[in-house]
A and B are shown apart, each in its own frame.
Chain A
Amino acid sequence: MSSFWISCLSQFEKELPPQQFNTWIRPLRLEGEDDFANGLRLYAPNGFILKWVKERYLSRIEELGSAYFSAPVSVTLMLGERSAAPAPVLAAAKPMAATPAPVPASAHSPYAAPASLTPEKPVEKTLPHYEKTRLIPGFTFENLIVGKANDLARAASVQVAMNPGGAAYNPMFIYGGAGLGKTHLIHAIGNRIVEQNPGKVVRYVHAEDYYSDVVRAYQTKSFDAFKRYYRSLDVLLLDDVQFFNGKNRTQEEFFFVFNALIESRKQIVISCDTYPKDISGLEDRLITRFDWGLTVQIEPPEIEMRVAILKKKAELENVALDDEVAFYIAKHLRSNVRELEGALKKVLAFASFHGRKIDLELAKEALKDLIGAVNRQITVENIQKTVADYFKIKVADLYSKKRTRQIARPRQVAMWLAKNLTSQSYPAIGEAFGGRDHTTVLHAVRTIETLRTKDNELNHDVHVLLQVLKG
């Protein structure tokens, strides 16, 4: 690395918060220092970084350059990594490469959030492989939790991976709701095939990315290359085919790819969020073809499986999870594995922040916002509605000029709630209650505060309303 750039980096490291420095400055690479009179070239790995640096940091870099070389220096920003040393360019995207001894985040900070629960170690190990196959190495059969919900789908997937292209399983169609592990399963098929047959050309593609490829081929008039590429694959793993909905040109292209691959006994695996016949906006000729091979379903996991998933994921984080805690989380998050994972991360982060042991009480506390809470956005309007319902009066009475006790007290309660549950100002609250003065609101708030200590019934009413509103 050039000496000017090193000094420039260290200057920015001093001037910027670390997250800004790591995101925007570290990925840059400078060239042309030997011949600085003709200008320096600064390479950004992509357009976003280029634009950002140009707007915010370019003049500072030129300033530092002029000071360093004692002569005016111009810096041109360019796209691309150029030449050798890719390390500094990818440093920000390759977190592991930047730190010589990677320590799990939780180890060096007492409040660290847990690292990703998926065992994947992206990027450094995988980039060349990933570019070719787009397979995420962490999604394997070995770390897929099996239960009644997915054992058939898993068994069929293993068969396909052992014998790709076999007529009985081609195409293989996996369907199930969001967050049940379809993507995991089809990556696992791809990873197993690559592992056992390194020569096979395997490609994972999300339906949206396939669509982008079609659009790009269309724009650059390169349909021949597009067709050649997709027909050259040994295994095509197409994720989320429901995204083809209404995209006619994409469906047509896929129809031909599909036929060509099946004819030459190449394996196709397709995932979808519904049964083939229920996919909307898809041509019939595709739907019938999806049913040619084997169709398997993944169901939402039953409670035992959810518990097993949680325990396995916790184990990957070197945390022992009590049954009691695992059951608590599993009982409350039923519908999909993703949110189960999110809830576990929440519990681990909470425990780590408070330096507490993971037990049932802690799990309840950590998840109180996520589980079962109503958490509606609290506005003055829904406070008024709730209060009016509770006291069996009309919402309009709350805005009205009426000052009978029967109306005035609920109005004061509603004002007190508005003050305590929203960020509205006193004048804004007054305005929302029929254009009253802010002193009226202030008086109401003080009255309710005093009354709550003396009047048990009113205190009870306020308590119930708070519960209803806060969920």
Chain B
Amino acid sequence: MSAYGDITKNGLWKQNSILAQVLGLCPTLAVTTTFTNAVSLGLATAFVMSVSNLTVASLRSFIPYEIRIPVFILIIASLVTVVDLAFNAWLHEMYVILGIFIPLIVTNCIVLARVEAFAAKNTAWQSAWDGAAMGFGLTGVLAVLGIVREFVGQGTFLSGIELIVPGTHAIQMLPADYPGFLIAILPPGAFFVLGSLIAVRNWMDARANKRAMLAATPVSAGA
């Protein structure tokens, strides 16, 4: 049980794929222009990571060590293709919206990183959960990036939600004549926001470390 707890904690915060490992920036920068896009890609990635981790962990005893990387890439690319086709065929409405994101998942090196670092050494179900937890950690960061960029860039929240949940609509956060701020929507805006997020995370970690050190050495702290 605690193994799963550790996996969750690592995925969501301690080894967060973006903030700690700084992996998978290509899709991160490309699609976090709005909250809706960001969360959609995040959840699709979480799903693929979970399935590819599960598959690799189940097959790991058959994969020769020397050629594991090409086999992993083969498995990930095949699974993404299958997910892409299945989405298109059976969830077509959703595919119209998320479709462009699914092939992008292949380019996200966090998928390969988790397969290599975790699924190749752990049991199938733990690996599946690790993929999901890493994916949710990624989704959380993408959501924050999306919210900030959308707010600064176009002054709205939940823009594009009507494509996913019919009948809803975006919320105008700033006056309707807000002219927009182009750089927040373009990739440099993503770098600015991401840099700030990593700085905040490092600051929080540094503070936590200092506290832990003070707590561990009460004598020298008092001196």
Our verdict on whether A and B bind, yes or no, reads no
Residues of B within 8 A of A (CB): none
